[in-house]
Amino acid sequence: MKPERKNILKSLAVFIACFISLACLPVSAISEEIYRFGRMWPVLEQPWYFSSPSDLAADRDDFIYIADTKNDQIQKFSSDGQFVAKWGSKGDEKGQFLLPCGIEIDSSGFVYVADSGNNRIQKFTGDGKFLIITDLGEPCEYALTITENHRGGTENHRVI
């Protein structure tokens, strides 16, 4: 037998052996995994999605506070962008907001929030604990500024 023909027969024998071994596999081994379409994009499980954030402020420890207007809450982040906390919900009770539009932090670390839908300013600790409400009686502006006067050992805060 010629060497060329011998090589062709060897190749053909290997091909036939592979074909027979694949054909003899059980159908369950081939179709064991079933794939289903779940969703197009992954869902990110993050607690910090914003809805119309309107203002932000930083405290002396470099935490960032964001007035998340349409979520009616305040969100707090570390200086490297890590979510720390959030507080507030929609309403007119203490610690609740209706479209918070401005936020400011004084040198003592107190957080002041302009609650525009309720026409008031609320004061919180840096951790979100409610302290006091100041009713304005008229629509509040979208800017909040704190001036601090230090006279004779006393400290006076004014929210403008």
Tens of pLDDT along 93-132? 999 999 998 999 999 999 999 998 999 999 999 999 999 9
Tens of pLDDT, residues 32-77: 667 676 666 655 556 667 888 889 999 999 999 999 999 999 999 9
Q: What domains appear along the chain, each with residue ranges and CATH number?
A: 53-159 (2.120.10.30)
Cα(38)–Cα(28) distance, rounded to whole angstroms? 23
**Tokens at 85, concatenated:** 């906390």
Cα(75)–Cα(69) distance, rounded to whole angstroms? 10
Sheet containing 120-124, strands listed edge to edge, beginning at the edge strand earlier in sequence: 100-105, 111-115, 120-124, 130-135
Residues ≥6 apart with Cβ < 8 Å to 123: 110, 111, 112, 113, 130, 131, 132, 133, 134
Cα(103)–Cα(123) distance, rounded to whole angstroms? 10
Identity of the highest mean pLDDT range in 2-6, 11-15, 110-114: 110-114
Report pTM. Answer: 0.63
